[in-house]
Amino acid sequence: MDITALHAARDRIQADPRSGQSLLLYALLKTLSIPLGGHAYLLTKLREMNPDTRRLAYDLMELMVQGGPAQAAWTEAMAQMDAAIAGK
């Protein structure tokens, strides 16, 4: 399983946790991380993403379909992104 998109999202969020693009990615990742949560993310949010961020979002959705959230790397990356968003 290629987790390149996950690490790219983590790096982007850590680099600028307050940017709109980072917050859109973070919200998507939090939604994709909820098991059996129905993955409720407004697809209209994709319009707010620039083309690069939108491509990354599609790759993250594919990673979710492949079982990414069940992997330790996903959990670790989410913890790092949670810390960045929290300002830690």
Domain boundaries, the chain: 4-86
Q: Which two tokens stand for residue 87?
A: 């300002």
Q: What is the mean pLDDT of residues 3-12?
A: 96
Confidence of residue 28 (pLDDT cuts 50, 70, 90): very high
pLDDT of residue 43: 77
What does the pLDDT look like over 31-88, one tens digit per residue?
888 876 656 667 788 889 999 999 999 999 999 999 999 999 999 999 999 999 999 8
pLDDT of residue 36: 64
One-letter identity of residue 50: N
The pTM (predicted TM-score) of the whole model is 0.86
- What angle is formed at CA 71 by the lines to CA 19 and CA 57, rounded to 5 degrees? 35
From CA 36, how far away is CA 22, in angstroms rounded? 24
From CA 80, how far away is CA 88, in angstroms rounded? 9
